[in-house]
Structures are given as C-alpha cells and as structure tokens.
Amino acid sequence: MLASRVFSLVGRRSISTSLCLRAHGHGGSGGRRGIKHSLEGGSTGICPGWAVGAVPSQEGPPELLFFPQLSLDPWQCPGPELGEWEASLPWQVYRIKFNETYAEMNKGTNEWKTILGGVLFFLGLTGIILIWQKHFMYAPAPHTFSDEWLSAQTKRMLDMRVNPVQGITAQWDFDKNEWKK
Amino acid sequence: ARGIQHTAVRQAHRKHELTFHDKYGTMVLLGGAAMFTSVWGYVFTTLKIEWGVSPVGRVTPSEWRE
C-alpha cells in the first residue's frame, strides 16, 4: 500500500522535473525559477537533485546542479520555496513513512519550567506549614535560648574545655580571645 | 550546519500546537520561585523559630561565674 502511494507520486512529477533540470545554465533562464549566481565568496558546491524535487526516473539519476561558489543564503539552492517544501515529492514520500523528522522527534520542550515551578510551589507550601506550626502550636522557646544565656553557656563550655580536639574548644583561639578563622 | 538552519526555519513555521508548558511554563516557574522565596525568606528572617544554630563564629562568650 505504501509502495503504490510512492509510485503514484513519482508518476505525476517525473515530467515537470526533467523540464526544470534542462533549464539550468548561465543566467538562470527557464525552469520553475532562475538560478541565483550572485554569490559572495565561499567554497564551491553542488545542489542535489532532490532539492529541486527531482527523483530517479526512467532517464536515470537526476543531474546535479553545480555552483562555482556558494553564498551564505540558505535558500540559494534553487528548490521549492519555503512553503512548498512540505508539498514537494521527497517530503511527501518521507511523511508517508515517518510522522516526524529527527529534529521534530528530538526537539526539546518547556516541560522543565512547569516541573520546577510546581516543585518550588509545593516547597513553599511546606514553609507555610512551618509558619502555621510556629504560630498556633509551638510554645515560647525556653529561656536557655536567650542571647545572654547562650553567651554565658558558651563561655562555660570553653572554660571547661569541652571537645578540645575537633569540637567547640578546638574552634576557639584562647590567645586572641576570638573564634578561629 | 545548513541543514540545521533549514530545519530551524522550517520548524519555526510549523509551530501550530502550543502545549501547556509553552503557554504557561514561564509563569508557573516564576510564580513558584516567588512563592518559595517569599515564604522561606519570612521563615528564616522574621519568624522567630529556634533553629539551634552553632555558637561557633556567632556567639560572643560572656562571663558566667557569679
């Protein structure tokens, strides 16, 4: 079924493509459109036959159009205009078999934005839970957490030489009377 | 490189199905980030929760003997 669809497409197009090919030459006369020879620097190149909608037919493989120099214009290759690409024979054949091109298939999405935004939102909800707890549930902090108590407590720990090897006393510089940098 | 250019131009013309992420993704991301920073900024600065942070580098020891 697929093969017969391909052959019907080829039959319709084979006449017009040979006319187009014979028209290439100097000055760009004839054919569906002229060949642009206005070029700025660059390397030489060829325009493959499928770019102008040519397919192998009974006459043999399509002729290659040769340019002495390529320009930076991506549409210099005289093929169908942008809108006509989707209707051209190679693309019709491709779309029969494949739903998407590799580029379409591999294309990235914006899904990460929704995901990250949702994650951050629910983390924010967690913070709201904390606020609720502090407001409605927690008792006041014990007096031993006040700044005066903490500083006195810290000095007492240092005087006792608590954890002198790797702990709190190890972080205190007794000569300069300050925390080690 | 020209093939990629071709494809990119072609794709730009065929984008007729916008997904939810295309339409609202940026808004969701920014809204979530705003919600997150505002809530946790409040929790860590204004709300007086005792986190039990280490005194090292923070507390200046003061005399405790009476």
For residue range B2-60, list pLDDT tens digits in order.
Answer: 444 444 444 444 566 889 999 999 999 999 999 999 999 999 999 999 999 999 999 99
Residue with tokens 């320009």: A71
Distance CA A12, CA A162 (A): 94
State the Cα–Cα distance between residues B21 and B8, nearest whole angstrom.
20
Q: What is the DSSP string of A124-157?
A: HHHHHHHHHHHHHTPPPPPGGGSHHHHHHHHHHH
Contact A82 B59 (CB under 8 A): no
Helix (H) or strand (E) holding A17: helix A2-22
Residue A158 pLDDT: 97
Chain A hits for B25, Cβ within 8 Å: 110-114, 117
Q: Which residues in chain A touch residue B41, judged by CB atoms under 8 angstroms apart?
A: none
Q: Name, in order, each residue with C-beta under 8 angstroms of A66's C-beta and a sequence gap of 6 or more.
A: A44, A46, A47
Q: Which of B28, B42, B63 sits opposite A113 (nearest CB)?
A: B28
Q: Is B41 on the interface with A (CB under 8 A)?
A: no
Question: Within 13 Å and on the Cβ side, how many CA atoms surround A24?
Answer: 21
Going from N- to C-terminal start, the domains of chain A cover 61-107, 141-180
A74: which chain B residues are within 8 Å (Cβ-Cβ)?
2, 5-6, 9
Q: Could you say which DSSP state residue A46 is in?
A: E
DSSP A50-102: GGGT---BTTBSPPPEEESS--S-TT-S----GGGGGGSHHHHHHHHH-SS-H
Q: Which residue shows structure tokens 């991301």?
A: B29
Average pLDDT value over all residues in chain B: 83
A16 and B CB contact within 8 Å: no
- Residue A101 sits at the chain B interface (C-beta within 8 Å): yes
Q: How distant is the alpha carbon of residue B34 from its chain centre?
A: 7
pLDDT on residue A104: 86
Consecutive 10-residue averages of pLDDT for chain A (181 residues): 51 40 38 39 57 66 68 58 69 86 89 97 97 96 95 97 96 95 90
